[in-house]
Amino acid sequence: MEKTLEIVEIKQPEACYVEPICRLLGQLSTSPVVFTQETLRDIAASPCCHLYLALYGGEVCGMLTLAHYLAPTGRKMWIEDVVVDSSHRGRSIGRRLVQHAIDCARSLGGTLMLTSRPTREAANALYRSIGFESKETNVYKMKL
């Protein structure tokens, strides 16, 4: 039987997803990330946050978060935490995840944004090929 790729939104905080998400986060960032069952519960319960997992043959092989909010200048949407497991890269899974998020965001309307480190060359090429344009801006961060 041929394995298929499925993209699912996590609406129930099932414990079986915590370990695979932690594994993916370890491939996304060199900084340690604490991701727990409670984190998953909070994300699943949020009406403004959508966590999508890519499942290949039922195995978690990638993820992406789509968040949105309404500002005085209109609806803003952000794609965050896009990562595909290193053993599954090169199969267009990242493209499928991002396209899925675009399709979901289109129904909300507004401006869709994302950030990506310049060193993530393949990711940046993917975003440009899908139609994202680089915006001349500075991103500031403050840990609270």
DSSP notation for 45-77: H-TTEEEEEEEETTEEEEEEEEEEEEETTEEEE
> Of 46, 45, 42, 53, nearest to 17 (Cα)?
53
> Is the pTM here over 0.85, yes or no?
yes
66 in a structural domain: yes
pLDDT tens by residue, the chain, 144 residues: 678 999 999 999 999 999 999 999 999 988 889 999 999 999 999 999 999 999 999 999 999 999 999 999 999 999 999 999 999 999 999 999 999 999 999 999 999 999 998 998 999 999 999 999 999 999 899 989
90 in a structural domain: yes
CA distance 42 to 67: 13
125 in a structural domain: yes
143 in a structural domain: no
CA distance 63 to 43: 13
Q: What CATH number should be reported for the domain holding residue 38?
A: 3.40.630.30
Q: How many domains does the chain have?
A: 1
Query: SS3 of 88, please?
Result: helix
140 in a structural domain: no
Return the pLDDT at 17: 97
137 in a structural domain: no
Return the pLDDT at 40: 98
Task: State which residues form the domain around 51.
Answer: 5-130
Return the pLDDT at 15: 95
Return the pLDDT at 30: 86
Return the pLDDT at 48: 97
139 in a structural domain: no
CA distance 116 to 83: 11
144 in a structural domain: no
CA distance 53 to 59: 10
Query: SS3 of 6, please?
Result: strand
Return the pLDDT at 29: 87
